[in-house]
Amino acid sequence: MKKMILMAPAIAAVLIAGCGADPQTSADTAPPAAAAAVPAVDVVPAPYAMAADAPTSGYCALDSANGQRGEVVTLPGSDVAVFGGWAADAEKQVPEGALFVFGNGADSHAVPLVAGANRPDVAAALGSEALAQAGFNLRLDLAGIPAGSYDLSVVTDPATSAHCDLRTRLVIE
């Protein structure tokens, strides 16, 4: 019983640290089992031009890319990949019209970000029940994206290109 009592604060600290005061990202947030319950949405990335002076805004995290986590993820360009994570705008709401962006300057690509996966951990950590469904699972065909290195982000406001940096570099071979 004492072990359970001692573990509860540690578990709470991990969840809160994952969505802490950093208004950008938390790549250390572990995905809950419920996030996998929402089927991945099949989409094909399209060319995208982000405004050069786009502001950073919102909260987000990439939990995994084809089961991989880290600052750099390498995937074959012929693969279909599943990206899972969560996103919130600056007002701590699920952003409408958000985009998942593969950016490397002149050759950037984007897909619509469709949220809906259960993320009670995000809602609790950011203090917004509106984020209980902030999770996403995107199933993307990488064949249309040229080999190269891409910084991943979520555009939370397409009108201004305001975005949240997922702090993950995707290398497509």
For 27-41, 66-80, 126-140, 151-165, which range has the lowest pLDDT when averaged over its residues?
A: 27-41
pLDDT of residue 30: 42
Determine the Cα–Cα distance for residues 98 and 124; give it in Å rounded to an integer. Answer: 22
Q: Please provide residue 79's backbone torsions phi and psi, each rounded to the nearest 5 degrees.
A: -85, 160
Burial class (CB in 10 A: 0-12, 13-18, 19+), 86: buried
| Mean pLDDT across 4-32 | 39
Which tens digits make up the pLDDT trace of 70-126?
999 999 988 899 999 999 999 999 999 999 999 988 789 999 999 999 999 999 999
pLDDT of residue 136: 96
| Number of structural domains the chain divides into | 1
In SS3 terms, 81-138 reads as EEEEEEEECCCCCCCCCCEEEEECCCCCEEEECCEEECCHHHHHHHCCHHHCCCEEEE
| Mean pLDDT across 131-151 | 93
Whether residue 140 has pLDDT greater than 70: yes
Which tens digits make up the pLDDT trace of 33-58?
444 444 555 677 888 888 878 999 99
Whether residue 10 has pLDDT greater than 50: no
Q: Note down the domain range covering 53.
A: 2-172
Which tens digits make up the pLDDT trace of 112-127?
999 999 999 999 999 9
Question: What is the pTM assigned to this prediction?
Answer: 0.76
